Amino acid sequence: MFPLTTGQHFGGLPLMPVQAMTQQATRHARRVYVGGLSPTANEQSVATFFSQVMAAICGNTAGPGDAVVNVYINHEKKFAFVEMRSVEEASNAMALDGIIFEGAPVKVRRPSDYNPSLAATLGPSQPSPNLNLAAVGLSPGSAGGLEGPDRIFVGGLPYYFTEVQIRELLESFGPLRGFDLVKDRETGNSKGYAFCIYQDLSVTDIACAALNGIKMGDKTLTVRRANQGATQPKPEQESILQHVQQQIALQRLILQPQGLPTKVVCLTQALSEDDLRDDDEYDDIVEDMRQEGGKHGALVNVVIPRPNPNGEPLPGVGKVFLEYSDVEGSQKAQAAMNGRRFGENQVIAVFYPENKFAQGEYDA
């Protein structure tokens, strides 16, 4: 027997260096699949991000340097194969499922050629239990605290939104089975994104379509299934979607920073245009609102804009404006009437700018 040196041929086949043979044999166990990438992602940005994140969670076990050695991206299908230096580092990377990359969560999975039985002989097949996942906003064994294909990612939330406000917005579509607002571990402040899942899974796509792209303050919401790209509602869901979008447009009012209370309270969703067309019915509605509003303080004025007889849209139709003599009365009215039901409608009550009301501007 004679030792074979690199580059010699045996049986007509070139021999690979031992290191190259090892790399080839372990590649299936050193690569991870990353799905749900944004259109702007490229090889360099993915490699830099995952190398930095691996260092942040103390997931590097192969010494100093970057954990990522290669990235292949399929831009059309928005996924990548990320090759790590070692089998152990690839297993540690599996704990990053659901991490936020370029504003949205990504899936981290084993590639289709992963061989579990063979990989078990090459190194650890599970992430280390000692990873510092909190450093990147994750928790062990959970992406945002919820699991399943109907888990929804809600990103772009203004930092001043409270959990109660966000839940109210999401529950316009139905009760939630789970909700998790991601917070900074040290300060307890919102990190601007959350995850949720509905009790009725059939409303998942409706909620995503209605909420995605809505502007809240200086932010724009990104709402989608956490493990998928954007989805479209089915045709039979369109009527439900349209109704809910109208509700959301109005609920945005209450989620804006209110600032100081004013003497004017605006009720939205209390009335429809049809309620206001008949003169007698309109007079009854004004009187009802005057009596109801007067329970909370001294009313100065009640204004209920009516639809134009020729069908031309007018600002403020469907709203009720209650002007009080003092802020104390308006505060009591806003607190008491917000969320109440008038007939089949659930009312949203917000403070309205006094200067706009005085000038007859009802479209704010």
Higher local confidence (pLDDT), 190 or 48: 48
CA distances from 347 to 138, 180, 253, 318, 354 (A): 37, 27, 12, 11, 20
Q: Are residues 71 and 126 in the same domain?
A: yes
pLDDT value at position 13?
42
3-class secondary structure per residue, 272-313 = CCHHHCCHHHHHHHHHHHHHHHHCCCCEEEEECCCCCCCCCC
* Assigned domain for 243 exists: no
**Tens-place pLDDT, residues 38-53:** 888 999 999 999 999 9
Element (H, E) at 243: helix 238-255
pLDDT value at position 229?
44
Domain that holds residue 75: 27-136
* Assigned domain for 250 exists: no
Q: How many CA atoms lie within 13 A of 58 on its CB side?
A: 8
Q: Are residues 127 and 177 in the same domain?
A: no
Q: pLDDT at residue 146 above 80?
A: no
pLDDT value at position 344?
66
Residue 76 confidence class, pLDDT cut points 50, 70, 90: confident
Residue 174 confidence class, pLDDT cut points 50, 70, 90: confident
Number of structural domains found in the chain: 3
Q: Are residues 211 and 291 in the same domain?
A: no
Token pair belonging to 244: 């809910």
The interaxial angle of helices 163-170 and 204-211, nearest 10 deg, is: 110
DSSP classification of residue 153: E
Contact yes or no for 351/266 (Cβ under 8 A):
yes
C-alpha R_g of the chain: 29
Q: Are residues 199 and 271 in the same domain?
A: no
Most confident stretch, 127-136, 142-151, 231-240: 127-136
Q: What is the mean pLDDT of residues 140-162?
A: 71
Q: Are residues 132 and 161 in the same domain?
A: no
Q: Are residues 177 and 221 in the same domain?
A: yes
Q: Are residues 263 and 351 in the same domain?
A: yes
* Assigned domain for 17 exists: no
* Assigned domain for 3 exists: no
pLDDT value at position 252?
53
Determine the Cα–Cα distance for residues 236 and 309; give it in Å rounded to an integer.
Answer: 33
Q: Are residues 128 and 32 in the same domain?
A: yes
Average pLDDT of the chain, as a whole number:
78
Q: Are residues 167 and 121 in the same domain?
A: no
* Assigned domain for 10 exists: no
* Assigned domain for 159 exists: yes
Q: What is the mean pLDDT of residues 323-328?
A: 93
Q: pLDDT at residue 309 above 80?
A: no
**Tens-place pLDDT, residues 233-265:** 444 444 555 555 555 555 554 444 444 688 998
pLDDT value at position 313?
65
Q: Are residues 131 and 165 in the same domain?
A: no
Q: Are residues 341 and 305 in the same domain?
A: yes
List the CATH number of the domain containing 168.
Answer: 3.30.70.330
Instruction: Give the percent of the chain with pLDDT over 90.
Output: 19
* Assigned domain for 79 exists: yes
Q: What is the mean pLDDT of residues 307-328?
A: 82
pLDDT value at position 248?
57
pLDDT value at position 116?
77
Q: Are residues 274 and 350 in the same domain?
A: yes
* Assigned domain for 39 exists: yes
